[in-house]
Amino acid sequence: MRRSPTRQRAKGPPGIDNDQVTERAASRTAILVCQGRAVADGRLGVGRFSDPVATSLLTEEERAQVERARAGVVPKGFGDRIAYEFLVATAEVLAARTIAIDEAVRDTVNPQLVILGAGLDARAWRMPELAGVSAFEVDHPASQAEKRERLGEHAPVADVHFVPVDFGKDSLGAALTAAGHDESGPTTWIWEGVVNYLTPEEVAETVTEVAKRSAPGSRLIVTYPTRDLLYRYGLRAFSALLSVAAGDSPLAGEPQRSSWTPAAMAALLSEHGFTVTSDRDLYSIALEAGVDGKRRAGRVVVAHRG
Protein backbone atom coordinates (compact mmCIF):
# COMPACT_ATOMS: atom_id res chain seq x y z
CA MET A 1 0.00 0.00 0.00
CA ARG A 2 1.27 3.46 -0.84
CA ARG A 3 1.64 5.53 2.29
CA SER A 4 2.35 8.82 0.54
CA PRO A 5 -0.64 11.17 0.46
CA THR A 6 0.43 12.40 -2.96
CA ARG A 7 -2.10 11.72 -5.71
CA GLN A 8 -0.06 10.37 -8.59
CA ARG A 9 -1.58 10.07 -12.07
CA ALA A 10 -0.45 7.19 -14.23
CA LYS A 11 -1.57 6.03 -17.65
CA GLY A 12 -4.24 3.36 -17.29
CA PRO A 13 -6.20 1.25 -19.75
CA PRO A 14 -9.26 2.65 -21.51
CA GLY A 15 -12.45 2.74 -19.46
CA ILE A 16 -10.94 3.10 -16.02
CA ASP A 17 -10.48 6.34 -14.10
CA ASN A 18 -6.73 6.90 -14.17
CA ASP A 19 -6.98 8.76 -10.86
CA GLN A 20 -7.84 5.40 -9.31
CA VAL A 21 -4.32 4.08 -9.96
CA THR A 22 -3.32 4.55 -6.34
CA GLU A 23 -5.17 2.59 -3.71
CA ARG A 24 -5.84 5.79 -1.81
CA ALA A 25 -7.40 7.54 -4.81
CA ALA A 26 -9.61 4.55 -5.57
CA SER A 27 -10.73 4.35 -1.95
CA ARG A 28 -11.60 8.05 -1.67
CA THR A 29 -13.68 8.01 -4.84
CA ALA A 30 -15.43 4.74 -4.08
CA ILE A 31 -16.22 5.66 -0.48
CA LEU A 32 -17.67 9.05 -1.42
CA VAL A 33 -19.98 7.49 -4.01
CA CYS A 34 -21.02 4.79 -1.55
CA GLN A 35 -21.73 7.40 1.14
CA GLY A 36 -23.81 9.41 -1.31
CA ARG A 37 -25.99 6.42 -2.10
CA ALA A 38 -26.30 5.59 1.59
CA VAL A 39 -27.50 9.13 2.35
CA ALA A 40 -30.06 8.94 -0.47
CA ASP A 41 -31.44 5.47 0.37
CA GLY A 42 -35.04 5.73 1.58
CA ARG A 43 -35.00 9.53 1.36
CA LEU A 44 -34.56 10.55 -2.29
CA GLY A 45 -36.39 9.21 -5.32
CA VAL A 46 -38.37 6.84 -3.12
CA GLY A 47 -39.94 4.10 -5.22
CA ARG A 48 -37.32 4.51 -7.95
CA PHE A 49 -34.05 4.65 -6.02
CA SER A 50 -32.87 2.21 -3.37
CA ASP A 51 -29.48 1.07 -2.14
CA PRO A 52 -29.86 -0.68 1.22
CA VAL A 53 -26.45 -2.32 0.85
CA ALA A 54 -24.44 0.91 0.69
CA THR A 55 -24.45 1.62 4.44
CA SER A 56 -23.17 -1.85 5.29
CA LEU A 57 -20.10 -1.28 3.10
CA LEU A 58 -18.96 1.68 5.17
CA THR A 59 -16.81 1.86 8.29
CA GLU A 60 -18.21 3.18 11.55
CA GLU A 61 -16.72 6.63 10.98
CA GLU A 62 -18.00 6.77 7.40
CA ARG A 63 -21.47 5.70 8.55
CA ALA A 64 -21.47 8.42 11.20
CA GLN A 65 -20.96 11.04 8.48
CA VAL A 66 -23.85 9.50 6.54
CA GLU A 67 -26.17 9.55 9.55
CA ARG A 68 -25.44 13.24 10.17
CA ALA A 69 -26.38 14.02 6.58
CA ARG A 70 -29.51 11.86 6.74
CA ALA A 71 -30.63 13.57 9.95
CA GLY A 72 -30.73 16.89 8.13
CA VAL A 73 -29.32 18.83 11.08
CA VAL A 74 -26.93 21.39 9.61
CA PRO A 75 -23.68 21.61 11.65
CA LYS A 76 -22.64 24.99 13.04
CA GLY A 77 -18.90 24.74 12.49
CA PHE A 78 -17.55 25.93 9.12
CA GLY A 79 -15.62 22.75 8.32
CA ASP A 80 -18.42 20.42 9.36
CA ARG A 81 -20.95 22.52 7.44
CA ILE A 82 -18.95 22.33 4.21
CA ALA A 83 -18.47 18.56 4.56
CA TYR A 84 -22.17 18.16 5.31
CA GLU A 85 -23.28 20.19 2.29
CA PHE A 86 -20.87 18.30 0.02
CA LEU A 87 -22.22 14.92 1.09
CA VAL A 88 -25.85 16.06 0.72
CA ALA A 89 -25.14 17.39 -2.77
CA THR A 90 -23.37 14.14 -3.68
CA ALA A 91 -26.40 12.15 -2.55
CA GLU A 92 -28.70 14.20 -4.79
CA VAL A 93 -26.50 13.65 -7.85
CA LEU A 94 -26.04 9.94 -7.13
CA ALA A 95 -29.76 9.34 -6.64
CA ALA A 96 -30.64 10.80 -10.05
CA ARG A 97 -27.75 9.09 -11.80
CA THR A 98 -28.48 5.72 -10.20
CA ILE A 99 -32.17 5.90 -11.10
CA ALA A 100 -31.33 6.39 -14.78
CA ILE A 101 -28.75 3.60 -14.86
CA ASP A 102 -30.75 1.07 -12.84
CA GLU A 103 -33.84 1.56 -14.96
CA ALA A 104 -31.80 1.11 -18.13
CA VAL A 105 -30.38 -2.14 -16.74
CA ARG A 106 -33.88 -3.39 -15.85
CA ASP A 107 -35.27 -2.43 -19.24
CA THR A 108 -33.28 -5.20 -20.94
CA VAL A 109 -31.60 -7.67 -18.62
CA ASN A 110 -28.76 -9.27 -20.56
CA PRO A 111 -27.05 -12.47 -19.38
CA GLN A 112 -23.82 -10.53 -18.80
CA LEU A 113 -23.13 -7.24 -17.00
CA VAL A 114 -19.77 -5.47 -17.00
CA ILE A 115 -19.14 -2.54 -14.63
CA LEU A 116 -16.06 -0.55 -15.55
CA GLY A 117 -14.38 0.99 -12.49
CA ALA A 118 -16.83 -0.74 -10.13
CA GLY A 119 -15.56 0.71 -6.84
CA LEU A 120 -18.10 -0.04 -4.10
CA ASP A 121 -20.99 -0.46 -6.55
CA ALA A 122 -23.60 -2.77 -4.99
CA ARG A 123 -25.87 -3.50 -7.97
CA ALA A 124 -24.88 -7.16 -8.09
CA TRP A 125 -25.88 -7.42 -4.41
CA ARG A 126 -29.07 -5.34 -4.37
CA MET A 127 -30.87 -5.73 -7.73
CA PRO A 128 -33.07 -8.85 -7.83
CA GLU A 129 -33.32 -8.48 -11.61
CA LEU A 130 -29.67 -9.56 -11.82
CA ALA A 131 -30.32 -13.03 -10.39
CA GLY A 132 -28.48 -15.52 -12.59
CA VAL A 133 -26.64 -12.78 -14.50
CA SER A 134 -22.85 -13.04 -14.82
CA ALA A 135 -21.60 -9.72 -13.41
CA PHE A 136 -18.01 -8.71 -14.12
CA GLU A 137 -16.60 -5.99 -11.87
CA VAL A 138 -13.52 -4.37 -13.36
CA ASP A 139 -11.23 -2.41 -11.06
CA HIS A 140 -7.73 -2.11 -9.65
CA PRO A 141 -6.70 -5.16 -7.55
CA ALA A 142 -6.18 -3.04 -4.41
CA SER A 143 -9.63 -1.52 -4.73
CA GLN A 144 -11.20 -4.94 -5.21
CA ALA A 145 -9.41 -6.34 -2.18
CA GLU A 146 -10.79 -3.52 -0.07
CA LYS A 147 -14.30 -4.05 -1.44
CA ARG A 148 -14.26 -7.79 -0.76
CA GLU A 149 -13.17 -7.11 2.79
CA ARG A 150 -15.98 -4.61 3.28
CA LEU A 151 -18.54 -7.01 1.80
CA GLY A 152 -17.84 -9.63 4.42
CA GLU A 153 -20.53 -12.31 4.24
CA HIS A 154 -22.87 -10.38 1.94
CA ALA A 155 -24.09 -12.81 -0.71
CA PRO A 156 -24.54 -11.38 -4.21
CA VAL A 157 -27.71 -11.78 -6.24
CA ALA A 158 -25.73 -12.11 -9.46
CA ASP A 159 -22.88 -14.48 -10.28
CA VAL A 160 -20.06 -12.04 -9.54
CA HIS A 161 -16.65 -12.23 -11.21
CA PHE A 162 -14.01 -9.81 -9.95
CA VAL A 163 -11.78 -8.72 -12.83
CA PRO A 164 -8.55 -7.24 -11.44
CA VAL A 165 -6.87 -4.88 -13.89
CA ASP A 166 -3.44 -3.53 -13.02
CA PHE A 167 -3.62 -0.15 -14.70
CA GLY A 168 -0.97 0.52 -17.29
CA LYS A 169 -0.05 -3.18 -17.51
CA ASP A 170 -3.05 -5.38 -18.19
CA SER A 171 -5.31 -5.65 -21.22
CA LEU A 172 -8.96 -5.05 -20.38
CA GLY A 173 -10.09 -7.48 -23.07
CA ALA A 174 -7.69 -10.22 -21.98
CA ALA A 175 -8.70 -9.77 -18.34
CA LEU A 176 -12.39 -10.11 -19.20
CA THR A 177 -11.73 -13.22 -21.28
CA ALA A 178 -9.77 -14.78 -18.42
CA ALA A 179 -12.68 -14.03 -16.07
CA GLY A 180 -15.11 -15.84 -18.35
CA HIS A 181 -16.76 -13.01 -20.25
CA ASP A 182 -18.27 -14.33 -23.49
CA GLU A 183 -17.96 -11.74 -26.24
CA SER A 184 -20.33 -13.76 -28.45
CA GLY A 185 -23.21 -13.15 -26.01
CA PRO A 186 -25.03 -9.86 -25.32
CA THR A 187 -23.64 -7.70 -22.53
CA THR A 188 -24.85 -4.67 -20.62
CA TRP A 189 -21.98 -2.27 -19.94
CA ILE A 190 -22.06 0.36 -17.18
CA TRP A 191 -19.51 3.14 -17.48
CA GLU A 192 -20.40 5.50 -14.66
CA GLY A 193 -18.58 8.58 -13.39
CA VAL A 194 -15.41 8.02 -15.42
CA VAL A 195 -15.64 9.87 -18.74
CA ASN A 196 -15.12 13.17 -16.86
CA TYR A 197 -11.51 12.28 -16.17
CA LEU A 198 -10.57 10.97 -19.62
CA THR A 199 -9.42 12.77 -22.76
CA PRO A 200 -11.55 12.41 -25.90
CA GLU A 201 -8.94 10.01 -27.26
CA GLU A 202 -9.15 7.79 -24.17
CA VAL A 203 -12.94 7.79 -24.36
CA ALA A 204 -12.77 6.69 -28.00
CA GLU A 205 -10.31 3.93 -27.11
CA THR A 206 -12.71 2.63 -24.49
CA VAL A 207 -15.68 2.57 -26.82
CA THR A 208 -13.55 0.71 -29.36
CA GLU A 209 -12.65 -1.94 -26.77
CA VAL A 210 -16.24 -2.28 -25.60
CA ALA A 211 -17.52 -2.57 -29.16
CA LYS A 212 -15.15 -5.47 -29.87
CA ARG A 213 -16.77 -7.44 -27.05
CA SER A 214 -20.37 -6.40 -27.67
CA ALA A 215 -22.50 -8.96 -29.50
CA PRO A 216 -25.85 -7.98 -31.03
CA GLY A 217 -28.29 -7.12 -28.24
CA SER A 218 -25.62 -5.51 -26.08
CA ARG A 219 -26.28 -2.20 -24.33
CA LEU A 220 -23.87 0.52 -23.24
CA ILE A 221 -24.83 2.92 -20.44
CA VAL A 222 -22.52 5.91 -20.06
CA THR A 223 -22.56 9.01 -17.88
CA TYR A 224 -20.73 11.95 -19.43
CA PRO A 225 -20.07 15.63 -18.74
CA THR A 226 -21.38 18.50 -20.84
CA ARG A 227 -19.75 21.87 -21.29
CA ASP A 228 -21.15 23.77 -18.32
CA LEU A 229 -18.65 26.38 -17.19
CA LEU A 230 -20.85 27.73 -14.40
CA TYR A 231 -21.19 24.28 -12.86
CA ARG A 232 -17.49 23.52 -13.33
CA TYR A 233 -16.33 26.74 -11.67
CA GLY A 234 -18.82 26.21 -8.86
CA LEU A 235 -17.43 22.74 -8.29
CA ARG A 236 -13.89 24.09 -8.17
CA ALA A 237 -14.91 26.72 -5.65
CA PHE A 238 -16.61 24.10 -3.50
CA SER A 239 -13.52 21.89 -3.68
CA ALA A 240 -11.35 24.81 -2.55
CA LEU A 241 -13.65 25.47 0.41
CA LEU A 242 -13.57 21.80 1.32
CA SER A 243 -9.77 21.79 1.21
CA VAL A 244 -9.63 24.80 3.54
CA ALA A 245 -12.25 23.39 5.90
CA ALA A 246 -11.11 19.78 6.05
CA GLY A 247 -7.50 20.01 4.84
CA ASP A 248 -8.32 17.83 1.83
CA SER A 249 -10.92 17.46 -0.90
CA PRO A 250 -12.02 14.30 -2.74
CA LEU A 251 -12.15 16.47 -5.87
CA ALA A 252 -8.50 17.52 -5.68
CA GLY A 253 -6.39 16.22 -8.54
CA GLU A 254 -9.43 15.19 -10.59
CA PRO A 255 -9.76 17.81 -13.34
CA GLN A 256 -12.36 17.34 -16.05
CA ARG A 257 -10.48 16.35 -19.21
CA SER A 258 -13.30 16.27 -21.72
CA SER A 259 -16.84 17.48 -22.29
CA TRP A 260 -19.37 16.28 -24.83
CA THR A 261 -22.50 17.36 -26.63
CA PRO A 262 -25.23 14.75 -27.18
CA ALA A 263 -24.52 14.94 -30.91
CA ALA A 264 -20.79 14.27 -30.43
CA MET A 265 -21.43 11.36 -28.10
CA ALA A 266 -24.02 9.87 -30.46
CA ALA A 267 -21.58 10.18 -33.37
CA LEU A 268 -18.84 8.37 -31.44
CA LEU A 269 -21.15 5.54 -30.42
CA SER A 270 -22.63 5.26 -33.92
CA GLU A 271 -19.15 4.98 -35.38
CA HIS A 272 -18.72 1.82 -33.30
CA GLY A 273 -22.05 0.23 -34.09
CA PHE A 274 -24.16 1.56 -31.21
CA THR A 275 -27.49 3.34 -31.68
CA VAL A 276 -28.54 5.82 -28.99
CA THR A 277 -31.96 4.96 -27.56
CA SER A 278 -31.94 7.50 -24.74
CA ASP A 279 -29.83 10.50 -23.75
CA ARG A 280 -31.10 12.53 -20.79
CA ASP A 281 -29.65 15.27 -18.61
CA LEU A 282 -29.37 14.68 -14.85
CA TYR A 283 -31.36 17.82 -14.08
CA SER A 284 -34.45 16.48 -15.86
CA ILE A 285 -34.03 13.05 -14.34
CA ALA A 286 -33.80 14.55 -10.86
CA LEU A 287 -36.89 16.72 -11.33
CA GLU A 288 -38.92 13.81 -12.68
CA ALA A 289 -37.93 11.64 -9.74
CA GLY A 290 -38.62 14.40 -7.22
CA VAL A 291 -35.01 14.34 -6.04
CA ASP A 292 -34.15 18.03 -6.13
CA GLY A 293 -34.54 21.09 -8.29
CA LYS A 294 -30.97 22.37 -8.08
CA ARG A 295 -28.62 22.59 -11.04
CA ARG A 296 -27.25 19.21 -12.11
CA ALA A 297 -24.64 18.87 -14.86
CA GLY A 298 -24.01 15.83 -16.98
CA ARG A 299 -26.03 13.31 -18.95
CA VAL A 300 -26.77 9.58 -19.09
CA VAL A 301 -26.80 7.94 -22.50
CA VAL A 302 -28.09 4.45 -23.28
CA ALA A 303 -27.08 2.86 -26.58
CA HIS A 304 -28.00 -0.44 -28.23
CA ARG A 305 -25.90 -2.73 -30.43
CA GLY A 306 -28.12 -4.17 -33.16
pLDDT tens digits for range 115-149: 999 999 999 999 999 999 999 999 999 999 999 99
Q: What angle do CA 15, 191, 18 make, to 5 degrees?
A: 35
Question: For residue 244, what pLDDT is reported?
Answer: 58
Exposed e or buried b for every residue in 252-282, given b needs 16+ CB within 10 A? eebebbbbbeeeebbebbeebebebeebebb
Strands laid side by side in the 299-305 sheet: 159-164, 134-139, 112-116, 187-191, 219-224, 299-305, 274-281
pTM for this predicted structure: 0.85
Whether residue 251 is contained in a domain is answered as: yes
pLDDT tens digits for range 203-237: 999 899 999 999 999 999 999 999 865 555 555 55
Whether residue 203 is contained in a domain is answered as: yes
With pLDDT > 70 as the criterion, what percentage of the chain qualifies? 80
CATH number of residue 127's parent domain? 3.40.50.150
- Residues 90-104 have a mean pLDDT of 95
pLDDT tens digits for range 153-212: 999 999 999 999 876 678 899 999 999 999 999 999 999 998 988 899 989 998 999 999
Q: Are 113 and 130 in contact (CB under 8 A)?
A: yes
Q: What angle do CA 219, 223, 226 make, to 5 degrees?
A: 135
Whether residue 244 is contained in a domain is answered as: yes
Whether residue 124 is contained in a domain is answered as: yes
Of 2, 13, 25, 5, the residue nearest 254 (C-alpha) = 25
Whether residue 137 is contained in a domain is answered as: yes
Whether residue 32 is contained in a domain is answered as: no
pLDDT tens digits for range 34-85: 999 999 999 999 999 999 999 999 999 999 999 999 999 888 887 788 888 8
Q: How many domains in the chain?
A: 1
Query: Which structural domain range is residue 214 located in?
Result: 108-305
